[in-house]
Copies of this chain bind each other. A is one copy, B any other.
Amino acid sequence: MPHTPSPDLLKRLQKLLGPKGYTGDADAMAPWLTDWRGKYHGRAAAMLSPATTEEVAAVVRLCGEEGAALVPQGGNSGMVGGATPDASGTQLLLSLRRMNRIRSIDPAARLAVAEAGVILENFHHAALDHGMRFPLTLGGKGSATIGGLVSTNAGGTQVLRHGTMRALVAGIEAVLPDGRIFDGLAPLKKDNRGYDLKHLLCGAEGTLGIVTAACLRLVPAATSRATAWIGLASPGEALSLLCRLDAALGRQLEGFELIPHACLDAVLRHIPQTRAPLANDHPWYALVELAGDAGDDLETALQAALADALDSALIDDVVIAKNEAESEALWKLRDSISEAERADGPALQHDVSVPVDLMPRFIAEDPQRLSAAFPGVRTVSFGHLGDGNVHHHVQPPADVDGKAWLDTHGEDVSRLVYAHVLELGGSISAEHGIGQMKRDLLAELDSPARLAALRGVKAGLDPAGIFNPGKLIG
């Protein structure tokens, strides 16, 4: 168990990091002690903001001497409270935001080295300045940092083609719990020297190492795109369409988002300057995006593939964006779902995955199970069909006090959802991670074999438990 940092330790940390790197001031720390959604609130003995990898290592060594707990934090935009300290006030918040240098960009090798505190959107721009693109993006791009994205193995809307963060990380630099610096930045395509620490640190939520920098893969900047909004009958048809498009356009297919009519309806009701893309309502929609080089005639290819799908009645209607502004308008509908839903009242959110081919079954059957157990609840599933990952939200019955109802029944509702996910071999956290939100859930629902292995790895690498205690399985 980690210990309360002594006044002497705090003094040494303050001396090490200087005024820019150390604060114990409650007001200065406040913005970083609550997660962005305001769900988790913590306290900290101090906030440490080292500027270099060596400073991070020195911090870890000093804290290690006393067994003081460190909670690493990037942009504070996580979804599961993974970067929020506990309420004890004994933990030290370790902010990586000052480490915000892009150390190198090499367009020929298609690689860049970015420090942990680099904000995703800034990294996008820097890559574009070199004619390259970093093909991972998500809602929090204006605050999310490279270190946090690596540590949570972030996903987003381009996973279909480019994979999650894990697939884009060619190398990692991290400080380990013993205070040593692991320099694994060299982008080796083949390296069979035993256990792959890169993959181990990716998605470890700061419980095994403090990621200080990453070598990241770039792709040539896409110079053309084509976007379509499609009306169809069910997730089954959407999956068939996805398979067809993948066969016909594989290399260019970059996004495939599934959206139920209820979500579009909420967006149209709550979000200004939005309008329905198709003349008629359909039970479900698919938002499809192709990205390619200057030479690719994406629109013609997409038109041909979708005309086939219309002819065979696989889909019911379609509109293809005629220009960038129309593309943006279609994506705005997708990106506004969460905001519109919040305006509609409270909902219980589940970020789950199942094998892709079981997704239509899950989406069809889960609302039935929930309605049978909790009459009147409404369920919407939307998101990354091609990744086997939907955001599965359950709204209380229309005629009750929603918040009170969720306080009473929420846990049982989620239990039913997760049981169904596990029945299908799925995951209770597809892309958001475990953090503190799902820590107890993981301990309860995951297999004893896997839990024992996770605990073994944690104990082996961080025997004193000083890295992000209380998160994941700590």
Interface residues of chain A, those whose CB is within 8 Å of chain B, are 106, 108-109, 152-153, 155, 159, 164, 166, 176, 178, 180-197, 199-200, 202-205, 207-208, 243, 251, 353-357, 384, 386-389, 424-434, 442, 446-450, 452-454, 456-461, 463, 472-473
Contacts and interface: CB of A to CB of B under 8 A. Distances in A.
14 contacts: A109-B355, A176-B449, A178-B452, A182-B453, A192-B427, A193-B429, A194-B207, A195-B203, A195-B204, A195-B454, A199-B199, A200-B457, A456-B460, A460-B460
A354 B457 contact: no
B357 A108 contact: yes
A181 B449 contact: yes
A341 to B, nearest CB: 21
Nearest to A207: B194
Contacts of A426: 186, 188
Contacts of A152: 192
Nearest to A427: B191
Contact of A192 (B106, B203, B356): B203
A184 B357 contact: no
Contact of A461 (B183, B428, B457): B457
Number of copies of chain A assembled together? 2
B450 A189 contact: no
A182 B446 CA distance: 11
Given A187-B355, A190-B389, A459 B460 contact: yes
A387 B200 contact: no
B194 A473 contact: yes
Nearest to A455: B460
Contacts of A459: 460
Contact of A388 (B184, B190, B195): B190
B356 A389 contact: no
Given A180-B452, A193-B450, 10 more contacts: A159-B189, A178-B452, A184-B450, A186-B354, A188-B354, A192-B427, A194-B203, A194-B442, A195-B200, A195-B203
Nearest to A179: B449
A473 B194 CA distance: 8
Contacts of A185: 425
B460 A458 contact: yes
Q: Which of A185, A189, A195, A354 has most B Cβ within 10 Å?
A: A195
B453 A192 contact: no
